[in-house]
Amino acid sequence: MSGAAKAFRAGIVGGTGYTGVELLRLLVNHPVVEVARITSRSEAGTAVADMFPSLRGHLDLEFTVPDVAQLSECDVVFFATPHNVAMRMMPELMAAGVRVVDLSADFRLRDADLWSRWYGEPHIAPELLAQAVYGLPEINREKIKDAQLVACPGCYPTAVQLGFLPLLEDSLIDPMQLIANAASGASGGGRQAKIPMLLAEAGDNFNAYGASGHRHLPEIEQGLADIANDPVAVTFVPHLLPMIRGIHATLYAPLRDSTLSLADIQALFEERYANEPFVDVMPAGSHPQTRYVKGANYCRIALHRPLDRDVIVVLSVIDNLVKGASGQAVQNMNIMLGLPERAGLEGAALLP
Ligand SMILES: NC(=O)C1=CN([C@@H]2O[C@H](COP(=O)(O)OP(=O)(O)OC[C@H]3O[C@@H](n4cnc5c(N)ncnc54)[C@H](OP(=O)(O)O)[C@@H]3O)[C@@H](O)[C@H]2O)C=CC1
Ligand SMILES: CC(=O)N[C@@H](CCC(=O)OP(=O)(O)O)C(=O)O
């Protein structure tokens, strides 16, 4: 454990969940950011390395109860809490001038009424929704630089938006007929997940859920409509896969111009993502696997045009806890603090 102080101090609210411990895993290797505060109401006073022995030797810190004054001493505060928590503390933290990266859904939707329809209670801080910048760097990098509050995208919305993005930006597909089938590992349900995530329920099984309407649908449609500059309609069906980490999204889009070849579209994707440090366009016709991104901050994408028909199939994979949550949060923090975007996120995926 190095005793040398680093240049920036980070706080984490909600450090005992999967995204909290993933933030810790990434930040202990960050060259210039140190975790100075980490909160848990239930584990206050417990050493972080006692709760998470995976961090023994990396971090000498105890959980404390969430306290705005203490958090205000940090350069950036992450919320790794369930929905409906960050919005309660946000007005006070924002007034204290703290910069915040929220991993929950509290500030992802711009419309407070839409938010409360999907999240089940009135929004506590609707006046802050307009200030929140949606934290998908591939779209909002410039706005993220100066943002005080960044709302990190959900895991499914990250995989889906990055897959459709170049096609919608160039109006190549019919935005009203998009289909996204996506499957997630069980860590997507969080550490407090209920019965469906038990090994005996989720193991050796595969099922769709939320097919009649999942809370990520309005977020996906809001993001894609911004990209398309037009209304979009997406049929989105999430599935639970018996694995720990990873999302595999299979996206289907009707092509507007049948004279475009797969090679043309591949070239478009390669050009659009050429300068993106964390989006990898694989050779056309390949099949990205979730293990190609396990533990890493990448989204890997591959394109298909089956039998040369007028449908583009995009395969998009991420690690739900990294590019889908904590890695993307660190990427946003790097942009906000003017640091190299890859700082702390250099690691390659874990294989096998
Ligand atoms: N798992 C994933 O793949 C992804 C998750 N997310 C989102 O990230 C967020 C965190 O998820 P996850 O890591 O699974 O953790 P949990 O949802 O299990 O949240 C756990 C943390 O929040 C703290 N917490 C709970 N209630 C409160 C409260 N009222 N005030 C302060 N702290 C509270 C808990 O500590 P204590 O109760 O001890 O205070 C605990 O540390 C969620 O919004 C989730 O939806 C986003 C993308 C992907
Ligand atoms: C497998 C599983 O249950 N996944 C979660 C979504 C993942 C997630 O945490 O969503 P947020 O980013 O919005 O928090 C679900 O479907 O509710």
pTM of the predicted model as reported, rounded to 2 decimal places: 0.97
CB 6 within 8 A of CB 37: no
Q: How far is the CA of 130 from the centre of ligand 2 (A)?
A: 24
Q: What is the pLDDT of residue 1?
A: 61
DSSP H or E run through 147: none
| Nearest-CA residue for atom 20 of ligand 1 | 17
Measured in degrees and rounded to the nearest 5, phi and psi for residue 194 equal: -100, -165
Atom of ligand 2 nearest to the CA of 240: 1
Domains along the chain with CATH numbers: 8-131 (3.40.50.720), 155-320 (3.30.360.10)
DSSP 254-303: EBS-TT--HHHHHHHHHHHTTT-TTEEEPPTT----GGGSTTS--EEEEE
For ligand 2, is residue 154 a contact (CB within 6 Å)? yes
Distances from the Cα of 147 to the Cα of 98, 132, 337, 338, angstroms: 11, 7, 10, 12
Report how far residue 231's alpha carbon sits from residue 107's, in angstroms, rounded to the nearest whole number: 21
Q: Which two tokens stand for residue 157?
A: 């919305």
| Nearest-CA residue for atom 17 of ligand 2 | 189
| Nearest-CA residue for atom 12 of ligand 2 | 154
For ligand 1, is residue 107 a contact (CB within 6 Å)? no
Is 155 annotated as catalytic? yes
Q: Is the ipTM of this complex over 0.85?
A: yes
Distances from the Cα of 203 to the Cα of 50, 107, 159, 239, angstroms: 29, 33, 24, 13
**Within 10 Å of residue 210's Cβ, how many Cβ atoms?**
15
Q: Which two tokens stand for residue 117?
A: 């329809």
Residues contacting 122, CB < 8 A, separation 6+ = 112, 116
Counting ligands in written order, which one lies closest to the CA of residue 85?
1
Q: Cα angle vertex 219, ends 216, 221, to 5°?
A: 110
Atom of ligand 2 nearest to the CA of 187: 1
Q: How far is the CA of 252 from the centre of ligand 2 (A)?
A: 22
CB 123 within 8 A of CB 129: yes
For ligand 2, is residue 329 a contact (CB within 6 Å)? no
Q: Which two tokens stand for residue 93?
A: 């933290």
Catalytic residue chosen out of the listed positions 74, 152, 155, 299: 155
**What are the b/e assignments for 173-196, b being 16+ CB within 10 Å?**
bebeebbbbbbbbbbbbeeeeeee
For ligand 1, is residue 102 a contact (CB within 6 Å)? no
- The identity of residue 196, as a single letter, is P
Residues contacting 309, CB < 8 A, separation 6+ = none
For ligand 1, is residue 320 a contact (CB within 6 Å)? yes
Q: How far is the CA of 39 from the centre of ligand 1 (A)?
A: 11
Q: Which two tokens stand for residue 40?
A: 């848990």
Counting ligands in written order, which one lies closest to the CA of residue 82?
1
Residues contacting 55, CB < 8 A, separation 6+ = 21, 24, 25, 28, 48, 49
Mean pLDDT by 10 residues, the chain (352 residues): 79 97 98 98 97 97 96 97 96 96 98 97 96 98 98 98 98 98 96 90 97 98 97 98 98 95 98 98 98 98 97 98 98 98 97 94
Q: What confidence tens digit (pLDDT) does each residue in 173-206 have? A: 999 999 999 999 999 999 987 899 999 999 999 9
